[in-house]
Structure 1
Amino acid sequence: MAAYVIIVTQTVSDPALLNQYKEQAREHLRAQGISFTAGPVVAETLEGTAPHGAVVLKFGDLKQAQDWYRSDDYQKLLEMRLSATSSTAIIVEGP
């Protein structure tokens, strides 16, 4: 079963660092063969407070998504995102 990593950015405290993260994350994802399924623009907020942005990444299965998120390479990038934003990341399984 496929797994999706969903990252929702609520607020941005350091736009320059976030842009640096985005550039490096794009390169990292491309090198891993991972593409965006959706995002980063939120088309409509149906409930709650509108986020700054969100992305959805598709993986072959739960283990692949977990391994990617916990990889040393992504953990270096994650520090940048967490320093630049207030965000939430989750993994959901689906078709």
Structure 2
Amino acid sequence: MTVYALAHLRDRSPHPDIVEYLERIQATLDPYHARFVIHGAPVEVVEGTWPGSVVLIEFPDVVRAREWYASPAYQDILPLRTDHIEGDVVLLEGVGPDYDPVERAAKLRAADAGYSAEV
């Protein structure tokens, strides 16, 4: 299952280390067959607030995503970013092509019904 590394980056400060990080990150992703899907594109907020920017990287699976993040190559460049940009990074598993939100709703209803019966 496809996995995404999502970064919500805030309070960016221009710094030469960020440029070096950008120059080096793709080489850390290549061995894990990962690619940028979104990288700092403008954010159009239609609900709530969203300070900062978004980065989304696609991996073939969670194993490769975790291996990339823990890899010596990525850990070596990580401080170039974290020393100058505040943010959060999470790994998220995608849904398959047959995902149906109606099925999810049915499971939630069934779970809620079981809870309500116990109360």
Give TM-score, length-normalised by structure 1: 0.83
Question: Which amino acid in the other structure matches residue 37 of structure 2?
Answer: T
**Hey, which of these two has a bigger chunk of helix by percent?**
2
Q: Radius of gyration: which is bigger?
A: 2
Task: Tell me, yes or no, if the aligned pair for 1:14 and 1:83 is still in contact at 8 Å.
Answer: no
Q: Which secondary structure does the structure 1 equivalent of 2:11 belong to? A: strand
* Ranges in structure 1 where 5+ consecutive residues have no aligned partner: none
Matches within 5 A, 1:1-95: 1-30=1-30, 32-46=32-46, 47-51=48-52, 53-95=53-95
Deviations 1:5-50 (A, max 9, x none): 0112101234322122111113433465421112221331342232
**How much is the aligned-residue C-alpha RMSD, in angstroms?**
1.8
The residue matched to 1:65 in structure 2 has which SS? helix
Pairwise CA distance, 1:60: 1.1
Q: How far apart are 1:68 and its partner, in Å?
A: 0.6
Q: Structure with the greater relative contact order (CA < 8 A, sep ≥ 6): 1 or 2? A: 1
Say if 1:37 and 1:57, in contact at 8 Å, map to a contact too: yes
Distance (Å, rounded) in 1 between the aligned partners of 2:74 and 2:7: 13
Q: Is the 8 A contact 2:13 2:84 kept in 1?
A: yes
Instruction: Give yes or no for contact 2:4–2:57 (8 Å, CA) kept in 1.
Output: yes
2:34 is paired with a residue whose SS is: coil
Q: Percent identity?
A: 22
- Provide the rounded CA distance (Å) in 2 between the counterparts of 1:13 and 1:79: 14
- In structure 2, list runs of 5 or more residues that go unmatched: 96-119
